[in-house]
A = this chain, B = another copy of it.
Amino acid sequence: MAQTPLITLTTDFGTTDGYVGTMKGVILGIVPDARLVDLSHEVAPRDVRGAAYVLYAAYPFFPSHTVHLVVVDPGVGSARRPIALRTPAGFFVGPDNGVFSYVMACEPLEASAVLADPCYRLPRISHTFHGRDVFAPAAAHLAAGVPITDLGPPVADPVVFPPPRLEIASRGIVGEVLHVDRFGNVVTSVGELIWAGDDLAFRPAFGKARGGTQDAEHGIVAADTAVEMAGQEVAGVRRTYAEVEPGEMLALVGSSGHLEIAVREGSAAERLGVRPGDKVVLRF
């Protein structure tokens, strides 16, 4: 591989204990010229869906030879399989627990491997830190150009969890809260939305939305629609925070193309008291 090897890391390890640094030591021992980029190590402990979202929002902005290493692994040491996936948008390495579900809803799977070959693991495998002993070496070898098929047999039926709620009804689109970010912005499953003049073009983000017709699925939504969440109604989808006063709530198309609820210079999540999974309605 002529490109500079590039590996991203996403874990629930935090940055206090040195676990992430240890994985990087293993990687750089195998591929000394690798570039390493942290996506997040503050995924809530064991929050596989949270990690899936972080990866989903970030991976499209990386070169297509990037290896994305994700270790949010509540089943470490159990029978859950360690896997690697190859797509046109990059490689993905981690436990087979659904953490790649959102990526797989967007990218075709070209090849895959259960990480079975001991040549591509550390010599001694602990029972509790496969990030270091199994996943980091696999990511490093992939970044160094080892073909994915060398790592082990293909993955039959990788674990995929149900896509986030996204239903198209006659009177609107029903979705759910996907993520609350550091600023208290509430990212929903309602996307992908793209500004088309003064209206919004809608394309279901995670494969085919349920309940919809072809027209609605690739349809146009008026930007002056109402958004309902947690019993509150926000009128209209705005382009920027600057269109409302500080402290005011607004709906807008976030940076990942999803409908977001925000408070300018404040926290919408706190104001609304919502969490991932809570319902949102974009009402026509």
Contact = CB atoms under 8 A, between A and B. Distances in A.
Contact of A42 (B10, B15, B29, B46): B15
Given A16-B181, A76-B241, 20 more contacts: A3-B32, A4-B32, A10-B18, A13-B182, A15-B41, A16-B43, A17-B40, A18-B54, A18-B55, A19-B181, A24-B37, A25-B62, A29-B61, A29-B63, A45-B183, A61-B132, A78-B242, A79-B242, A127-B239, A127-B253
A21 B41 contact: no
A67 to B, nearest CB: 12
A219 B18 CA distance: 30
16 contacts: A4-B33, A10-B18, A15-B38, A16-B182, A17-B54, A17-B181, A45-B182, A61-B132, A126-B253, A126-B254, A127-B252, A128-B240, A128-B253, A128-B260, A129-B255, A132-B255
A8 interface: yes
A28 interface: yes
A240 B58 contact: no
A159 interface: no
A66 interface: yes
A10 to B, nearest CB: 7
Contacts of A127: 239-240, 252-253
Contacts of A54: 17-18
Given A38-B15, A63-B28, A255-B128, A58 B22 contact: yes
Which bracket fits the contact residues of A? 35 or more
A26 interface: yes
Interface string A178-191: 01011100000000
Q: Which 8 A-B pairs have the closest CB atoms?
A: A77-B240, A129-B255, A78-B242, A25-B62, A14-B182, A21-B39, A16-B42, A25-B61
Contact of A128 (B15, B74, B128, B252): B252
A275 interface: no
A26 B182 CA distance: 21
Contacts of A260: 128
A153 interface: no
